[in-house]
Structure 1
Amino acid sequence: MRSPARVGVFGLLGSGNLGNDGSLEAVLGYLRTEHPGAVVDALCGGPEVVAARYRIPATRLHWNRGEYRTASRAGAVAAKGLGKVVDVFRTAAWVRRHDVVIVPGMGVLEATLPLRPWGFPYSLFLLCASGRLFGTRVALVGVGAGPIGNRPTRALVRWSARLAAYRSYRDTQSRDAMREMGVDTARDEVHPDLAFALTAPPSAPPGPPGPVCVGVMAFHGGNDDRARAEEIHRRYLDGTTRFVRALVQDGRPVRLLTGDACDVAVVDAILDAVDSPLVTAAGAASLADLMKETAAADAVVATRYHNLVCALKVGTPTLALSYAAKSDALMARMGLGAYCHPAREVDADRLVEQFRALEKRSAELRQTLAERNRLAARQLQDQFAALTAALFPTNDHPHARTRQETP
């Protein structure tokens, strides 16, 4: 009798980012449906949250509890350095206990937001190197990737991808970026974002006009924008606030959405600046909550990638405040490529014009989104079938082989 497969999930999960947790939820749904006997646990950023919400054992990703706090004192700096050494052995010991480790979605191979090489890129490298060392199949499933300027970060990301047993991406730009970094992507596939596998809420019944959902973000530019971070943030906040004010002046109710705990400060700033009962904030704690909010809206304007995913998934006409190529790619894939606006240069007047053009085509765009969502559902069935063939060959597909690249 075969022993149950031991499956680990890995990443910055349970740390306040709703998109990351939504990707985890999609993979757990797949495992519980297709591999109900699998024994699953997590190595993650927020183990208490993951254990309570998803009912699986969870271990803290870093030995040093202050890993993501700025270290200024000598003791804190020493603790960070020691933590990097301890995490080599902690990660290896955790990986060794598993047959399979899945990194569910997330932008783990990109640097579109500020990122230090010795943070998550280092942790991902330890995971993939340990998997290769101990024969544990590590899968990067539906992940995002992008060009990386910082050389240490690029090297860690490239070697992580090379050492993984399976890779798939959420858009073709991600696969192209890894190929340009020197990774052999000939057998890597592209599928829709894992969040499209989540169950959407029922469509809102016909009724009075709904709100406009505006998804905001604590946006300070990308990894190469650190010198201009505050300028970029001020410009983004000012343009978004002016857009919300214009909606209010038209008598439109506005519902502010977030996607990460750090976004709350942006919501508070807009509420203070506009000061109108027409503007309210949603307390979404999951992608399911975000989908309920966007399903009830007439239209959505959003920045965070998974705010866009939620709105598109429920079929609501959406305009992207795009901060990276992944947002543009997602909008094009869903048939709304014309409705993107740069987050770094928010022009409130032009944004209002784009928004009005979006609303004029609302009925047509809802039909387009319904068709694209049906296609995404079929493509994700293919993703999960490929994942089973690659990761569980002895249990389900005796002739399948894992996709492994020799570094």
Structure 2
Amino acid sequence: MRPPKGPAVRVGLFGLLGSGNLGNDGSMEAVLAYLRREHRDALVDAMCGGPEVVRLRNRLPATRLHWYRGEYRTASRAGAVAGKGLGKLVDAVRTAAWVRRHDVVIVPGMGVLEATLPLRPWGFPYALFLLCAAGRLFGTRVALVGVGAAPIGNRATRALVRRSARLATYRSYRDTQSRDALRAMGVDTARDEVHPDLAFALPAPPPGTPSGTPGPVCVGVMAFHGGDDDRARAEEIHRRYLDGTTRFVRALVEDGRPVRLLTGDEVDRDVVAAILEAVDSPLVTAAGTASLGDLMKEMAAADAVVATRYHNLVCALKVGVPTLALSYAAKSDALMGRMGLGAYCHPAREVDADRLLDEFRELEKHAAELRRTLAERNLTVARQLDEQFTALTAAVFPKTGHPHAPRETP
């Protein structure tokens, strides 16, 4: 006889989800698919940046990550500064109460242990620390699944990230250098595993069939201003990136190539608008994408992709389209290397339109070979992600069917 079932396992998803970043939301969708497939009885909710979006799009109960709604806006007035300060105290209580109601909390992918983009320690790093500390206090298993990490210059941010990682029950990374970065910060990573990015687990449309004549090119753009250590020259970096990318798009148009501009976050829209205005050609259009699935559909119809955002690259590689990375961090180089396209990386901080065009033409010259390489690598990635989810189940899900956390009172 099968033993009677205990209370359903309570699972929380935590992070900047529903906030307009397609990569973050795609990672969450991959974990949700895993939960619905392998843990159908689990009761799932979220503590996230955009609870309204998560409730509507994913049909999950969701609560706001930060009590203070202006958390990620610069506080210039005394009232805003006071609001942020009070919010830190309120969030400690709110986060602890939310964590206590769960048996497992999953942080699905995302670069939560890095500062490759501008980041303040009292923003998400502080929120992650509250999560992991509360998990340790109440016995809730906190899993950092397929996350990204990188060396961090800011001492306060580095301390919060290091402590959070040490308090987590389970850690896995989307590339080897992420694990190496945590080890360099003083975290024992001997039992931590590396698996492909979670977004590779999402379903993808079949790649299109090249027509034999030059076809459309997808160009994924980004509101790129450098990283956390580049604040003093952020505008200079952005101008150089925008100018180089615009001149590259103009060169494609002069060759008669249709260009489809793609984004990965709501903040990228201004870059799209600037390129459309500067090039001013009917051959350049912008796609309205609301998910990584939408991005993959756009890319599957293209002959080639040139992209900046990490998850734009993931989508292009997933659908098997020859891809050139405008790389802004080591994680992009590592991703391209994993998928066999390590030779096709161009620095986003120093976009040279002429050199980029030469590299693009070299990419297209080897397109058939690269499509075969990507098809083979994607089979390996799929197997490795199955192993990731099996390891996650074994590490953090209760084996008795009797989770520790009490059910919520209606």
TM over 0.5: yes
Shift of 1:393: 3.9
The code of the aligned residue for 1:192 comes to: P
Distance 1:184 1:291 in 2: 37
1:46 equivalent in structure 2? 50
1:157 corresponding residue in structure 2: 161
2:6 aligned with 1:18: no
Moved over 6 A (4+): none
Q: Which amino acid aligns with 1:85?
A: L
Aligned counterpart in structure 1 of residue 264 of structure 2, from 255, 259, 263: 259
Q: Which of residues 199, 204, 208 in structure 2 aligns to 1:204? A: 208
Q: Does 1:79 align with 2:83?
A: yes
In the TM superposition, what are the counterparts of 1:8-407 in structure 2 within 5 Å?
8-205=12-209, 207=211, 209-395=214-400
The residue identity in structure 1 corresponding to 2:87 is G
* Residue of structure 1 equivalent to 2:406: none
With normalisation by structure 2, the TM-score equals 0.96
- Residue 142 of structure 1 deviates from its aligned partner by 0.1
Following superposition, the deviation at residue 69 of structure 1 comes to: 1.1
Secondary structure of the residue that 2:271 maps to in structure 1?
helix
Distance (whole Å) between structure 1 residues aligned to residue 198 and residue 210 of structure 2 = 29
The question of whether the paired residues in 2 share the 8 Å contact of 1:210 and 1:296 is answered with no
Deviations along 1:58-103, one digit per CA (max 9) or x if unpaired, are: 0000110111111111111101000000000000000000000000
Aligned-partner SS, 2:177: helix
How many pairs align?
398
- For the aligned residues, what is the CA RMSD? 1.2
Code of the aligned partner of 1:254: V
Letter in 2 for 1:143: V
- Greater relative CO, 1 or 2 (CA 8 Å, sep 6+): 2
What secondary structure is seen at the aligned counterpart in 2 of 1:15? coil
- Separation (CA, whole Å) in 1 of partners of 2:160 and 2:254: 49
Deviations 1:116-164 (A, max 9, x none): 0000000000000000000000000000000000000000000000000
The offset of 1:203, in angstroms, is 2.5
Matching residue of 2:407: none
Q: What is the identity, as a one-letter code, of the residue corresponding to 1:314?
A: V
Aligned residue type for 2:204: A
Q: What is the Cα deviation at residue 392 of structure 1?
A: 1.2
Which secondary structure state, in structure 1, belongs to the residue aligned with residue 68 of structure 2? coil
Q: How far apart, in 2, do the equivalents of 1:354 and 1:245 lie? A: 16
How many Å separate the matches in 2 of 1:286 and 1:24? 11
Given residue 160 of structure 2, which amino acid in structure 1 is its aligned partner?
L
User: Does the residue aligned with 1:145 lie in a helix, a strand or coil?
Assistant: coil
**Residue segments in structure 1 that go unaligned for 5+ positions in a row:** 399-407
Per-residue displacement from partner, 1:227-260 (whole Å, max 9, x unpaired)? 0000000000000000000000000000000000
Q: Distance in 1 between matches of 2:315 and 2:363?
A: 17
Secondary structure in 2 matching 1:269: helix
Retained in 2: the 8 A contact 1:158–1:178?
A: yes
1:404 corresponds to: none
Superposition deviation, residue 318 in structure 1: 0.1
Q: Quick check: 2:201–2:382 contact (8 Å CA) kept in 1?
A: yes
2:223, 2:270 within 8 Å by CA — same for their partners in 1?
Answer: yes
Amino acid paired to 1:348: A
Q: Which runs of 5+ in 2 are unaligned?
A: 404-410
Letter of the 1:148 counterpart: I
Instruction: Answer yes or no: is the 8 Å Cα contact 1:168–1:188 preserved in 2.
Output: yes
